[in-house]
Amino acid sequence: MPVVPLADIQRAAERIRSSVVRTPLEASASLSRLVSVPVHLKMEHRQRTGAFKLRGAANAVLSLPPGTRGVVAASTGNHGRALAHAAREAGLACTICLSHLVPANKVAAVEALGARVHVHGASQDDAQREADRLERDEGLVAVPPFDHAAIVAGQGTIGLEIVEDLPDVTAVLVPLSGGGLIAGVAAAVKALAPDVRIVGVSMERGAAMAASLRAGHPVEVAELTTLADSLGGGIGLANRWTFDAVRELVDEVVLLTEAEISAGVRYIYQEEHEVVEGAAAVGVSALLSGRFRPRGATVALLSGRNIDPALHLRILNGADALEVGA
């Protein structure tokens, strides 16, 4: 079973220590009052590139063999930004493939880090096919956004920090997409505290991992526009790592409407004074909507802040969810 061992996650923590921020775990008085148990927010949106993805990307790049010519990846935005940053720090060329669904602010952010950008196709799967072509034709090393042992181990360092900072944690709410984040966090948390409940949270519109879990194997789904755009894309029909890990380690999956996601973004800004993207708000949204009812100390992982400012403003002003997310 391809679950990344705790020792690999601990080695990743040492490897990336100088490359990433050890983000804080902060108590939320408002959410704690609302659900009547202690709620803490893991502030991973404060990571150097504005999202958790830097941990996995840095671990993967720092694990590459000498003489690597360059790296390539498909991304919905945040992995591309993280890989571009990590590659620049290591002096490597970087190419990122993005679909036309990726918001313009995320495309610009990747370009600003010096990466070569290919905008290709109408879905993450289309972008992945372009990345595969460049890997084959140009001899680049693929660093995929989630289905990669070094990526999973890097993201798992978040789980180490959560257990260290909150030993009595009973549940961790984690955004669920391709599974790299939740597979790593779950592997670390379950190894250190086996009784902690790991809850994956995603959107109703095009959640590929949720559909694959229901089917019992990886499946393709239509990629739809959503406020949680970072959670879009497939998991790969030839998935090697994350599907089995999620099936083994994740206790529950919660799916949210666009209205519930927008309510979470709004709440986090109004009550916590933090700017997050839709994908990062889903844990809080699950608590606000009552779709997850905690029984003890709970952590919601805020995974990224790279939201288009105009979209964020429309959400704060109460725009209809279908207007901003569909």
What domains appear along the chain, each with residue ranges and CATH number?
A: 6-51+152-325 (3.40.50.1100), 53-142 (3.40.50.1100)
Q: pLDDT at position 223, please? A: 86
Tell me the DSSP string of 211-245. HHHHHTS---------S-GGG-S---TT--SHHHH
Q: pLDDT at position 325, please? A: 45
Check whether 326 has a pLDDT greater than 50.
no
Check whether 74 has a pLDDT greater than 90.
yes
Record the pTM: 0.94
Round to whole Å and give the CA distance between 180 and 65.
22
User: To which H or E segment does residue 154 belong?
Assistant: helix 149-165
Identify any residues that bridge with 27 across adjacent strands, giving them in sequence order.
40
Q: Cα dihedral angle (283, 286, 291, 294), rounded to 10 degrees?
A: 60
Q: Closest Cα to residue 186, out of 158, 151, 213, 208?
A: 158
Q: pLDDT at position 320, please? A: 58
